[in-house]
Structure 1
Amino acid sequence: MRVILFDIDTLRSDHLGCYGYGRDTSPAIDAIAQEGVRFGNYYCPNAPCLPSRASLITGRYGVRTGVVGHGGTAADMRLQGESRHFRDNCSDNGLFMQFRRAGMHTVSFSTFAERHSSWWFNAGFNECFNVGKCGNESAGEVTPHVLDWLRRKGREDNWFLHVHYWDPHTPYRAPAEFGNPFAGQPLPDDWISEEIFAQHLLHVGPHGANEINMWDDTQFPQFPRHPGSLKTREDMKAMMDSYDCGIRWTDDNIAQIVDLVKEMGLYEDLAVIITSDHGENMGELGLYGEHGTADEPTCHIPMIIKWPGGMRGFVDQGFHDNVDLAPTIQELLGTKMLGRYDYDGLSYAQTLLTGQDCSKDHLVLTQCAHVCQRAARFDDYLYLRTVHGGYHLFPQEMLFNVKEDPHQLHNLARERPELCEKGARLILNWNETVMKKSDSDADPMWTVMREGGPEHARGMLEAYIKRLEGTPRADQIPLLREMYQGCT
């Protein structure tokens, strides 16, 4: 058997044609979706990059892995401890190890482990190819190595390739010669009106229109597609174009790999998995070019799987999250668990093979790198509860009907208190259930809080307040101080 997993960083599902996007960003991905199963409500339960991939690899939520942030204790995988023998159970049962134990030669083309000092990510790989730029590389630097490997070894049987592309991630870096195929096209969903954009210009908090570079408006000359700030709606449209260019450039590189596999006569029996670690806020909640919340744009991700002998052109609309992939692969490959280990995820192998509904009733989402938030995704709603807003002025509770209001413009928390109660109860029940299975009595979200708050907000409050002084946003400084009293 041969398998390729395309791991595309920061890819919003609603910016792909197969998920209904009006721009031609993803013809290669769309074609693969027509030959397999597309999951319409698939989520990253622990955002952003590092926590998400920890959940993907282990099949466990961050409450159990301990990884929910980008710094401090909560950026390291918990050690197994006394029960560990010669090897740890997580390495033996992780996602990539399933392919290795099924008899496949496993190869990763990724810089992720080095970028986040997360070497557990490489467990299960026979070969790891790192171009050495810690996530600042473009797809054009990765694809030639994948093509070379395929030409040399692709006709051998039983291999698994993990191909990681960063291009939709900030800073947007599609090469200049790629141009902008969307320059003359309007935005498919032009929801940011002049009035809404004027509100965005008054937004307080990192990665707003005035501070695309998190806390300031620095623009780096080596990344001309990535602005330092947005002054007009035309600037906003240009930034949206740059994000879409990153997606299309990635898709073109996927097409090169798929075309070679077809040329070699290997495609028909090839399994293909396409997914992302998280999405991207592009104006939602006033944020641009960041994945710093536990909301719909950040946590809703694509999952497309073409599996030999499986369903073709099938769409599953049930709730799933990325801890479900490891048990699914285990069932599909027939591998067994080693040692005393269990997944939090549920297998949807039968969805791929027969179309059976294997979905969940609801999901709980967590973000602790930029803010400390938990969210419940149920029915048509997203309930969002903020513990630390990362120096945004978010209310404690937000509720959105994401089916009718996908860009989260109307907070229904005051209008629908009964739904807020339901969302809060789902989060509480979920947290207690997962904590009962944890080897630690510490909820890592509260570890983040005790260590000074989210990594990307630590020590920034006073410097940011100075930036706000003398600007049209200065009148919000007292509220900012009140909300974050005791923080620095």
Structure 2
Amino acid sequence: MRVLFLDLDSVSPRHLGCYGYERNTSPNIDKVAKKGVTFTNYYTSDAPCAPSRTALMSGQFGIRNGLVGHGGTAGDMRHEGVDRTIFGRLSVGGSLPSFLQLGAGLNTTLISPFPQRHATYNFYAGFNEIINTGKFGMESAEQVSPVVHDWVERNGEKDDWFLYVNYWDAHTPYRAPEDFGNPFANEPLPSWANEETLEKHKKEVGPHTVHELVIDHQNETYTNVESDQFPRSPGEIKTLDDLRTMIDGYDCGIRYVDDHVGKIFDLLEQKGILDDTIIIISADHGENMGQLGIYGEHGTADDGTCRIPMIISWPGMKEGFVDDGLHYHLDLPVTLAEMLDLPPCPDWDGESFASVLKEGKECSRDYVVISQCAHVAQRSVRFGDWLYMRTYHDGYHLFDKEMLFNIKQDPREEHNVAAQNKDVCMEAVYYLHEWHDEMMFRSRNDVDPLWTVIKEGGPFHAKGFLKNYGERLVQTGREEQFNELKKRHPNEFPEQADYKRLEFDNLMRSRLF
């Protein structure tokens, strides 16, 4: 048994040909889709990078494993506590790679810098061989592919391996080499990318909106300063030409990865093992390309960020099939267990979709709950035609507390219809509470890590940035938005809160005397 898992960081299904994208970004991935099953409503339970991959490998939602952010307490998995054994849960079948290693007898190999990038060293649990490509996720495909080819040359013809490979070129900043050119230079922009949309998005505020596409962690602010090193990633979007730079940069990153993925397939074919290899193509999260006014980031609990590709080509199983059911990425470990006729780890939260692969038989969930706590603090419910979003910390975007989008009619999330559909919102809140109750009972912990993030000052990528960002808003004529943000986040301006308290105290004293 041979399994190749391609984790294509930040690749959105909306930008792949096999999902209906009009640009030819993914000819090699599309070929795999024709031989296998394409899942159209496949979601990461927790976004972005570290929470997503931790949920996948642990088989547990972030609310249970504890890792929902990119910093602070919620940037690490919870300790197992008094029940921890000498090996720990992840070492003995509790993680996906250790399950494949011990349960299925596969030699498991990881080619990725991801654990070092986010200090998520639990991700290593169960891999026999670990190859860190060494650039913290700033690798380009031409640096990753030689490592993959070397490994396949040495091990490909063995019949007992699971190879997990990361590619990063679709992750901001977009970095396809200059000599790759731009295969989309003469192609029209997607129909939504027009003057009307751009003008609407110019009214938005916050990181990775059109005025500030760059996070400056060193100076704790958001900026429009472009990097000469990454000309495919603009610092701001003022014109349709800038918008083209952004969209083309992303699409070139995907096409560049696809070219390299195609070369791996060619090598497997040369060795005579392509048709016997299980190929799984997915991502940790998608990429907002204008959804909610955000560009080039994966910072919300919405369809743009949390819906991810999943394509599985499994020799002897369904071919050319499209499944529209609702699934989580953490359903994959349980699915692999059923496909291999093995008992799944009882600690996993997933539900198998093996029947889709075997028979094309639908096994959709009724709803999925998706979370984001690194850029904002949001939980959302995807069900029927709807996406309901609840915001606990807006990451300085002035999002409404409740947002509701009809994904079928409004796939780009342009029209919040929560006010007109209170009954739908109430149904979504019911699902959210049902899920939350179940997860808290299962976690055997009285702390929801989303609230840990709030308690520790907010999401990592927004934490403490408001004062410096506020100066930029004032300097660029957006003081009104800054004032509204200050109302939303009074704890970041304690002197203002203290003044209000003093004013209240003085009022009360005046009534005493």
Alignment TM-score, normalising by the size of structure 2:
0.93
Tell whether the 8 Å contact from 1:98 to 1:335 is kept in structure 2 after alignment: no
Code of the aligned partner of 2:98: M
Code of the aligned partner of 1:358: C
Tell whether the 8 Å contact from 2:233 to 2:245 is kept in structure 1 after alignment: no
Residue matched to 2:376? 371
Out of 121, 124, 139, the position equivalent to 2:123 is 121
Gaps of 5+ in 1: none
Q: 1:168 aligned to 2:170?
A: yes
Residue matched to 2:97? 96
Separation in 2 of the partners of 1:337 and 1:6?
Answer: 22
Tell whether the 8 Å contact from 1:292 to 1:370 is kept in structure 2 after alignment: yes
Within a 5 Å distance, the mapping from 1:256-275 to structure 2 comes to 256-275=263-282
Code of the aligned partner of 2:475: G
Separation in 2 of the partners of 1:484 and 1:320?
Answer: 35
Out of 335, 350, 357, the position equivalent to 1:328 is 335
Residue matched to 1:360? 365
Residue matched to 1:153? 155
Relative to structure 2, which stretch is displaced further, 329-338 or 63-72?
Answer: 329-338
Offset at 1:192? Answer: 3.3
Tell whether the 8 Å contact from 2:287 to 2:305 is kept in structure 1 after alignment: yes
Q: For residues 45-88 of structure 1, what are the alpha-carbon distances to aligned partners after superposition, in whole Å with 9 as ceiling and x for unaligned?
A: 10100000111111110110001111111110111111111111
Code of the aligned partner of 2:207: P
Q: For residues 232-276 of structure 1, what are the alpha-carbon distances to aligned partners after superposition, in whole Å with 9 as ceiling and x for unaligned?
A: 111011110000000000000100000010111101111000001
Separation in 2 of the partners of 1:28 and 1:473?
Answer: 45
Gaps of 5+ in 2: 216-221, 494-513
Within a 5 Å distance, the mapping from 1:45-56 to structure 2 comes to 45-56=45-56
Out of 429, 438, 447, the position equivalent to 1:424 is 429
Q: Percent identity?
A: 49
Residue matched to 2:507? none
Tell whether the 8 Å contact from 2:338 to 2:352 is kept in structure 1 after alignment: yes
Separation in 2 of the partners of 1:56 and 1:368?
Answer: 17
Out of 377, 381, 388, the position equivalent to 2:386 is 381
Separation in 2 of the partners of 1:310 and 1:478?
Answer: 58
Structure 1 SS opposite 2:475: coil
Out of 429, 434, 451, the position equivalent to 1:446 is 451
User: RMSD of the alignment, in Å?
Assistant: 1.2
Separation in 2 of the partners of 1:83 and 1:393?
Answer: 43
Code of the aligned partner of 2:467: E
Code of the aligned partner of 2:341: G
Q: For residues 76-116 of structure 1, what are the alpha-carbon distances to aligned partners after superposition, in whole Å with 9 as ceiling and x for unaligned?
A: 01111111111111332211122212111111110000001
Q: For residues 315-335 of structure 1, what are the alpha-carbon distances to aligned partners after superposition, in whole Å with 9 as ceiling and x for unaligned?
A: 110000111011111222233
Alignment TM-score, normalising by the size of structure 1:
0.97
Residue matched to 1:198? 199
Residue matched to 2:85? 85
Code of the aligned partner of 1:409: E
Larger radius of gyration: 2
Tell whether the 8 Å contact from 1:202 to 1:473 is kept in structure 2 after alignment: no
Residue matched to 1:342? 347
Separation in 1 of the partners of 2:368 and 2:133?
Answer: 36
**How many residues are paired up?**
485
Separation in 1 of the partners of 2:237 and 2:318?
Answer: 44
Tell whether the 8 Å contact from 1:323 to 1:345 is kept in structure 2 after alignment: yes
Separation in 2 of the partners of 1:96 and 1:435?
Answer: 26
Offset at 1:337? Answer: 5.0
Q: For residues 268-291 of structure 1, what are the alpha-carbon distances to aligned partners after superposition, in whole Å with 9 as ceiling and x for unaligned?
A: 111000001101111111111000
Within a 5 Å distance, the mapping from 1:131-142 to structure 2 comes to 131-142=133-144
Within a 5 Å distance, the mapping from 1:179-218 to structure 2 comes to 179-187=181-189, 189-214=190-215, 215-218=222-225
